Structure 1
Amino acid sequence: MLFFDGSRGRLHYRRWPVDGHAAVAVLLPGIGQHTGHYHRFARILRSVDIELWGLDTAGHGLSEGDPEHPGTLAELVADATTLVDLVRAELPESPLLLMGHSLGAVTALGMLGAAIPDASTATDLNAVEANFPLVPSLAPGTLTGLVLSGVPRRALGSGTPGAPGTPLPSDLPVLAVHGVEDRRAPVDAMRVWTERHEWVDLREYADAGHDLLHEPVHARVGADIADWMQGVVVGLARHA
């Protein structure tokens, strides 16, 4: 089993190796999920030669901690960045894709300094600056692509005039997948966010809710993500 020392104790991560892989993806699950729930998704990515690594958030899966208090966003970002560093140390030449679901998607945006609360949910910008990472924890060029699933509204304030934080890089390919019936993170906020970030590819799934990879549409969503990741990696190779 694989562990590292995180912000709130020993954290478990999982790796699904792929011989001769074309790229590696790092998955950050949401609250209530852990890497043991993603074997099926790992097989889908394997079919397009993408190796998957995933993190058990503090208090989830085999990681130490309190599941009710997995950490501040700064701590979550620090833990996820440590995992990316481990991937980079093991596979330094592999194109790297980052994927986050729900809280994991907030963390992924936080790693880019772009997880800024929506203006209607944040009344004190000083509090925003105190509690949300405003600068990237990843060096420029670390990521080949970013996949966001079920992003809560509270992290979708970037891109507005005068917003704190770091603008999302316009040269970073981004795929957002979202259920039209998502009650935890209504899709309307994501639609507004993607209007501000025109290069983001938003895929909406009718009759689907928050946890797309564990709902009846999971096969289509998984295939769409895998195809998109493969396309990004192929496009990178063509421009190399």
Structure 2
Amino acid sequence: MVEHLLAGARGALVTHEWPHPRPRYVALLVHGYGEHAGRYAELAGVLTGHGAAVYAPDHMGHGRSAGERVVIEDFEDVVTDVHTAAGLAMDAHPGLPLVVMGHSMGGLVAARYAQRHRDALAALVLSGPVIGAWELPGRLLALPEIPDTPISPGALSRDRAVGAAYAADPLVWRGPMKRPTLEAFVRTLRAVAEDGDVGPLPLLWLHGEDDRLVPLPGSRIGVERLSGGALTERIRAGARHEVFHETDRAQVFAELTGFLDGVLLSR
């Protein structure tokens, strides 16, 4: 893995690259809230093995990028940073198909990215996306003080090693959510809902049936509204929030690469 230091919308933007000597497509990974792109090394390995050059920025206030921890005042800035990382990737690999994959909060960012840059994409992949009806920000903003209730590692995956690694990771945020970020969530959920679908862009939606952080029914509302009809849905029985880190992730990876094979063959 190689790290690039780019100029982001609000400071230094660290972008990870998992290179491929002769890629057939570019995969851009968009991580979730409070974590960082380095947690997706296994997924990146699957994708490079499938023929992708993989890139993934640490969002502002996350990982090794600049900014107050987990503060995002405007998700449009995060979308712009993802576009900066995409520019790095496409300058290195001009003409290759670009696939954007977003998890959780990154699913919201990836959805907004697809609305802004649909014509540049070959496909969109959303994993446990914060999209549609997500009630948490409104509930927390109604309180006089945001409670210091960290994400339970057990809510991520049935694989206990995943939770243990998350709990021990010094780059993972385990403090309270911050009001500016919650307010930005509300605005961006509304913007994605109001800005229409992504037309014929192929869309793969992956979600854990037992996702308690981003419940399945609320995401369904947003995904079905975002899709222009080219939707592939894969709901994993018993899985929790992070399907790429679940006990059955080999099957999830097979579903992902099978979807991508179909996209690439149709071009």
> Number of residues paired by the alignment?
208
Q: 1:74 and 1:176 mapped to 2: Cα distance?
A: 22
Measured after TM superposition, the shift of residue 219 of structure 1 is: 2.2
| Structure 1 residue matching 2:194: 3-state secondary structure | coil
Alpha-carbon distance between aligned partners in 2 of 1:66 and 1:32, rounded to the nearest angstrom: 12
Going from structure 1 to structure 2, the CA distance change for 1:83 and 1:183 (only over 3 Å counts) comes to same
Decide whether the 8 Å contact of 2:27 with 2:53 is kept in 1: yes
Q: Are residues 1:141 and 2:119 paired? A: yes
**Residue 186 in 1 paired to residue 215 in 2?**
yes
| Counterpart contact for 2:207–2:216, Cα < 8 Å | yes
- Counterpart CA distance in 2 for 1:194 and 1:36 is 26
In 1: Cα distance, 2:219 partner to 2:190 partner: 10
Distance 1:158 1:199 in 2: 21
Aligned to 2:23: 21
- 2:215 pairs with 1:213: no
Q: Which residue of 2 aligns with 1:204?
A: 235
CA deviation after TM superposition for structure 1 residue 194, in Å: 4.5
CA distance in 2, matches of 1:177, 1:41: 14
Gaps of 5+ in 1: 114-135
- Write the distance in 1 (CA, Å) between the matches of 2:64 and 2:189: 30
Q: Please give the secondary structure, in 2, of the residue aligned with 1:105.
A: helix
Q: Deviations over 1:90-117 (max 9, x none)?
A: 211111000111111111111234xxxx
Tell me by how many angstroms 1:156 deviates. Answer: 6.4
Q: Which residue is equivalent to 1:43?
A: 45
**8 Å contact 1:8–1:71 — kept in the other structure?**
no
2:5/2:15 contact within 8 Å kept: yes
- CA deviations 1:147-194 (Å, max 9, x no partner) are 0011123466689xxx632x2222100001001111111111233345
1:2 Cα offset (Å): 0.6
TM-score calculated relative to the size of structure 2: 0.72
2:199 corresponding residue in structure 1: 170
* Matching of residue 6 in structure 1 with residue 8 in structure 2: yes
Q: Is the 8 A contact 1:58 1:71 kept in 2?
A: no
Aligned residues: CA RMSD: 2.0
Distance in 2, matches of 1:3 and 1:10, equals 7
Query: Are the aligned partners of 2:50 and 2:257 in contact in 1 as well (CA < 8 Å)?
Result: yes
The answer to which structure has the higher helix fraction is 2
Contact 1:44 1:223 in 2 (8 A): no
The residue matched to 2:54 in structure 1 has which SS? strand
Deviation at 1:26, TM superposition (A): 0.3
2:168 is matched with none
Q: Deviations over 1:9-40 (max 9, x none)?
A: 10101111112211010001001221211121
Confirm or deny: 8 A CA contact 1:178 1:212 kept in the other structure: yes
Residue 234 of structure 2: SS of its match in structure 1? Answer: strand
Which residue in 2 is equivalent to 1:75?
77
In structure 2, what residue type is equivalent to 1:100?
Answer: G
2 CA distance for matches of 1:20 and 1:142?
A: 21
Taking the aligned partners of 2:94 and 2:197, their CA distance within structure 1 comes to 24
- Equivalent residue, structure 2, for 1:90: 92
Q: 1:70 to 1:29 in 2, by over 3 A?
A: same
TM-score, with structure 1 as normaliser: 0.79
Where 2:94 maps in the other structure, the secondary structure is coil
